[in-house]
Structures are given as structure tokens and as C-alpha cells.
Chains A and B, each alone.
Chain A
Amino acid sequence: MDEQERSRRVLLVDDEEAITAHLAPFLERAGFTVAVAADGETALRRAEDFTPDLIVLDVLMPRLDGREALRRLRQSGNWTPVILLTQVGSPSERAMALDEGADDYLNKPFEPYELVARIRAVLRRSRPGVPSLAGARRLACGPLILDRQARRITLAGREVSLTAKAFSVLEFLMLHPDEVLSRERLLDAVWGWDYPAATRAVDTRIAELRRALNDDAEEPQYIETLIGQGYRFIGRVEAGT
């Protein structure tokens, strides 16, 4: 935690007062300057006058829900990083959250410590005023191009066929370059739940990806294994058009 991070501004948007009343002081103690809004319209206004570095946005809210607020924010050219707090957490809901241009999302009921960790991670990879990878249609890393809309991957111009799960794993890895992602986190993001001892399911998909991308586990170009911790995408990822 450096001095600069201490003064980062976070806008917390949730209609449940019980949540904001407890979460705001917690975030403040974690070193952030916090403002609170209770609905989407107020959130959009506060995004202008409070100029937050990051917005934590609940999806289900009265008047203007989180998804619509996020859409309007992005349409007005505001690229402030957003972490969505999702409720239903079904796979389609999660895919939608990322499609709308959220930088990350967290399922309720989350651990507050996890939220702080996510806020720090998103702030670390964001550059002010620049659209983040989360809103990009395509992700590119050298010859590897992942088309998020067409759900297609090409390597040096040639199409690579993958299972739907493996595609989602690669997408999530490329959206979080240089970040250590635990198997549990990948399970939660791609499979949608964490079930006991299923971390092997992640390993199976990573092996499939490595085979498809000709990536050597010993000297990886793309996916690195961190023993006891998880996986990390080590290539440089750029947003393509």
C-alpha cells in the first residue's frame, strides 16, 4: 500500500443501506476515500462531481439498475473502472457483466477483504481515461487473438478449436494479465461455483489450452503455473478492434 493508493477515491453504489453503512467504513479503513450512492441516477451524478478512481456498483437497484447505469456511463465516454456486485450469478449474468464493460464482478455475499483485494487489483491494471481490456471486443497477445463476440480464437491467423469452458478460461486469464489467479477464482468465474476438490477441472482446461496454443508448461509464452498458487497470463495483452 503506497501513499498514492491511500488517497484513491471509491464510489460505492448499493440500495441496501445495511450494506453501505458497514462497507463504507471498512473501505475507508482500508485506505480509500469513499462516497456512497443509493441508486443508479445518483451514481451517475456522483461519477461526475466526485470523480472516483473506481466504482463499486450493485446490479439490482431501484430506478436505474447497475447494468443500465454502467451502459450510460460507458456511452458518455467515462472509463472509470467498475466492479459489479452481481446477485444471480448465473453464467449468462457473468458474461453479460463483462460484456457491458465492467472490469470485474463479485457475487454476493462476498467477503469484504476479497472486495478490497479486487479493488486494488483493478486499480493496479487501469490507466486513467483509457478503456480497459474489459470493454474490448478483441484481446490480442502477439499472434494470439481472442474474439470475444464471435467466441473465436486465432493463432497466427489460423483458427484454434476449443471447448466453451477452455475459451472462457483463456478469456478470463487474458482479461487479468500479470495477475495470479487461483484455481478457486477461475472456478468461480468460469464454472460459476466452487465445488469441493474440483480444482482439477481447471487443470484439465489449462492443459487443453496449452495443447491448443502450443504453449510449453516449462517455458511458457502465455500461461504460467505458480505452484500452490494458481495460474498467470504472462503475455502482454492489448485491446483490439
Chain B
Amino acid sequence: MKKYVLLLLPLGLGLALAILWQTGLWPNPILYLRADVGTLFLILGLVGSIVCGLGLTLWTLTQTRCEEALAHSREEQADSHRRFIRRLDHELKNPLTAIRAGLANLADGGDGPILASVRAQVDRLARLSADLRKLADLETQSVEQEAVDLGQLLTELLNLAQERPEAGMRHLRLTLPQAPWPLPPVAGDRDLLFLALHNLVDNALKFSRPEDTIEIRAFEDGTAVVVEVADTGPGISEDELPHLGEELYRGTAARTVEGSGLGLALVQAIMARHHGTMAIRSRLGQGTVVALRFPMAR
């Protein structure tokens, strides 16, 4: 709206002055200006440039202000979201502590199947609370900066994965580059990176079926070190893909699988603290690839 007012402002000003002179309030002499066509065009060009310049400055000014406001509101949103997560976690803790104490009192007379199942559900809530805490912690805690050998870390992870009962029925493979040079180290917090990669492999194991293949591969493309965890599982539909990193989001496939719904959100938070990114590609019926990119120091 302001734009159009500005546009009409010169016209309005001209009109007002014209009325003032024409009504005879002020002497209204006739000017005999003479100019050749060349000068006329020069003046017209000059006036045009000034008008365009003014317009352009105004436009960029409002544009940057808009962007700033947008970034600000986005930050505010993220902040309030974080506060919400903290509060939610906080509000879960006291009742859970009370329930556990109550259960312990009941269990003194022997732990029946009903108590055992209630206890399992309480443990599940406690895990959710712990995961929420991790997520909130990750935003603020200090992240160590040591040189992490991802190849070694992935080998360790593979050995652990192979001990799981699901692993026996799936084809698990790890590919690490050797030629012309091995994978360069990544600067970061080894424990956090382990957690992130563990979550990815855990997902691949949980959401694939027996006889599926799971490939873990790492490489470097000159700008970044990339780790990919790929599976030939059922895949994720296109409309679910954008929501996967959200807290507590559970895709249709996840409804039958145990988990807190925070695994990928944690991976994303860890990657953010390492200035890296997470990207997911998936095709329904073919499988899923999750890629973590760690930019290399120049």
C-alpha cells in the first residue's frame, strides 16, 4: 500500500502547487523556456534515472527489512520450540518419579504380569524424557573438536550391529575408500558422531526386512566427507520425507516399530553442531539412503 502512495506522491504535489498558482493566490507568470530536442531528452533521461534510483533504493530497503523480520521470527519460533521441549520434558519428570516410587511399593508383594507391563510403559516414557533431554542438551552443550577417524568409528559400529539378532538375516556391508587415499579425519565430537551414525544404522535395521541389504559407505568428494547408510527396505513415501527430522514424527512404517520418534531429530541436531547436513533420498518399494555431509576444512 505504501508503495502506491509513494508512486502518487509527486503527482499529488504537482497538482496541489498547480491549484495554488491557478487560483491566483500567487502571481502566476508565464515562462518562455526554450530548449533543443537533444537537451530535452538529456533532462528527461536524468529525471528518469533519478526516479528509478529512488525506487530501487526504496525497494531494496523494504526487501532487507522483510528478510530480517523473517529471520527474526524464524529464530523466535525455534526458540519457543526449544522452550516447549524443555518444559514438556520437565513436566514429565515429576509424575514419572512418583509413578516409579509407587510401583516399587506395589512390587514388594511380588511382581505380577500386570505390574511388569505397567513398568515397561513407564520405562518407555522415561526413555522419551531422556531423549528429549538429549535434544535440548545438544543445542547448548560444548562439542569437542578432536580429529575423528570415521573409518574406525564405522568399523566399530558395524561390529556392534552384527551382534544384533536382526543383523543375521540381513546383508550388512561397509565400504571404506582406500585408494588413492583413505578417508580424512573429521573434526568433531566422537561420542556424538557415534550416536548419530548409530541411530542411522539402527533405523536401517529396524525398518528393513529379512534378506534386505544394508550398505554403509563413506567417501570424500573434495568438498566434504560423506557417510551414507542405505537400505533396500520398504522406502518412505514422498509426502512423509519432509517430516522425518521433526521431533516425535512417526511415519506409517514406524507405527509398528518401537522407538521414541526422536532418532532422526537427534541426528539432525548433531549434524547442525558439526556444521554438516543430513539428506534423505527414498523410493517407495526400493529403499532409503541417508547421507551425512561433513564439510572439509579448507
Asked whether B194 lies within 8 Å of A22 as measured between CB atoms, the reply is no
**Chain B residues with CB under 8 A of A21:** 98
Which residues, 76 to 100 on B, are CB-close (under 8 Å) to A? 86, 90, 92-100
Max count, chain A CB within 10 A of own CB: residue among B98, B99, B130, B144: B98
Asked whether A22 lies within 8 Å of B101 as measured between CB atoms, the reply is yes
The distance in angstroms between the C-alpha atoms of A200 and B190, with both chains bound, is 11
**Chain B residues with CB under 8 A of A18:** 94-95, 98
**Chain A residues with CB under 8 A of B93:** 87, 108-109
Residue contacts A-B, CB under 8 angstroms, 27 given: A16-B98, A18-B94, A18-B95, A19-B94, A22-B101, A85-B97, A88-B90, A88-B133, A90-B136, A90-B140, A90-B141, A91-B137, A108-B93, A108-B94, A108-B97, A109-B100, A109-B129, A110-B97, A112-B104, A113-B104, A165-B144, A165-B191, A191-B191, A193-B133, A194-B130, A196-B202, A198-B198
**Chain A residues with CB under 8 A of B136:** 90
Given contacts A198-B194, A201-B190, contact A193 B134 (CB under 8 A): yes
Asked whether A26 lies within 8 Å of B101 as measured between CB atoms, the reply is yes
The distance in angstroms between the C-alpha atoms of A201 and B153, with both chains bound, is 11
Is A89 part of the binding interface, using a Cβ–Cβ cutoff of 8 Å? yes
Query: Distance (Å) between the CB of B150 and the closest chain A CB?
Result: 15
Q: Which 7 A-B pairs have the closest CB atoms?
A: A109-B96, A22-B101, A18-B98, A112-B104, A108-B93, A109-B97, A22-B102
The distance in angstroms between the C-alpha atoms of A109 and B104, with both chains bound, is 13
Is B105 part of the binding interface, using a Cβ–Cβ cutoff of 8 Å? yes
Chain A residues packing against B (C-beta within 8 Å): 16, 18-19, 21-23, 25-26, 29, 85, 87-91, 108-113, 163-165, 191-198, 200-201, 204
The distance in angstroms between the C-alpha atoms of A109 and B108, with both chains bound, is 19
Is B126 part of the binding interface, using a Cβ–Cβ cutoff of 8 Å? yes
Asked whether A26 lies within 8 Å of B194 as measured between CB atoms, the reply is no
The distance in angstroms between the C-alpha atoms of A87 and B92, with both chains bound, is 10
Is B146 part of the binding interface, using a Cβ–Cβ cutoff of 8 Å? yes
Given contacts A108-B96, A109-B93, A197-B160, contact A19 B144 (CB under 8 A): no
Asked whether A89 lies within 8 Å of B133 as measured between CB atoms, the reply is yes
The distance in angstroms between the C-alpha atoms of A29 and B105, with both chains bound, is 9
**Chain B residues with CB under 8 A of A110:** 97, 100
Is B20 part of the binding interface, using a Cβ–Cβ cutoff of 8 Å? no
Is B195 part of the binding interface, using a Cβ–Cβ cutoff of 8 Å? yes
**Chain A residues with CB under 8 A of B126:** 109
Is B156 part of the binding interface, using a Cβ–Cβ cutoff of 8 Å? yes
Given contacts A109-B126, A200-B156, contact A22 B98 (CB under 8 A): yes
The distance in angstroms between the C-alpha atoms of A191 and B100, with both chains bound, is 24
**Chain A residues with CB under 8 A of B156:** 200
The distance in angstroms between the C-alpha atoms of A87 and B102, with both chains bound, is 19
Max count, chain B CB within 10 A of own CB: residue among A26, A85, A200, A204: A26
**Chain B residues with CB under 8 A of A204:** 190
Asked whether A26 lies within 8 Å of B98 as measured between CB atoms, the reply is no
Which residues, 131 to 168 on B, are CB-close (under 8 Å) to A? 133-134, 136-137, 140-142, 144, 146, 156, 160
Asked whether A163 lies within 8 Å of B190 as measured between CB atoms, the reply is no
Chain B's closest residue to A93 (CB) is B137
Chain B's closest residue to A85 (CB) is B97
Asked whether A16 lies within 8 Å of B94 as measured between CB atoms, the reply is yes
Asked whether A87 lies within 8 Å of B90 as measured between CB atoms, the reply is yes
Asked whether B130 lies within 8 Å of A193 as measured between CB atoms, the reply is yes
Asked whether A25 lies within 8 Å of B105 as measured between CB atoms, the reply is yes
**Chain B residues with CB under 8 A of A87:** 90, 93
Asked whether B141 lies within 8 Å of A196 as measured between CB atoms, the reply is no
**Chain A residues with CB under 8 A of B95:** 18
Q: Mark B100-141, 1 if CB is under 8 A from A, else 0.
A: 111011001000000000000000001001100110110011
Chain A's closest residue to B106 (CB) is A22
The distance in angstroms between the C-alpha atoms of A128 and B98, with both chains bound, is 31
Chain B's closest residue to A111 (CB) is B100
**Chain B residues with CB under 8 A of A23:** 101
The distance in angstroms between the C-alpha atoms of A200 and B198, with both chains bound, is 13
Max count, chain A CB within 10 A of own CB: residue among B136, B156, B191: B191
The distance in angstroms between the C-alpha atoms of A108 and B130, with both chains bound, is 9
Which residues, 199 to 216 on B, are CB-close (under 8 Å) to A? 202
The distance in angstroms between the C-alpha atoms of A110 and B194, with both chains bound, is 26
Asked whether B195 lies within 8 Å of A22 as measured between CB atoms, the reply is no
**Chain B residues with CB under 8 A of A29:** 105, 108
Partner of B141, one of A26, A91, A108, A113: A91
Asked whether B133 lies within 8 Å of A19 as measured between CB atoms, the reply is no
Asked whether B198 lies within 8 Å of A195 as measured between CB atoms, the reply is yes
The distance in angstroms between the C-alpha atoms of A85 and B94, with both chains bound, is 11
The distance in angstroms between the C-alpha atoms of A22 and B108, with both chains bound, is 13
Partner of B105, one of A22, A195, A201: A22
**Chain A residues with CB under 8 A of B101:** 19, 22-23, 26, 112
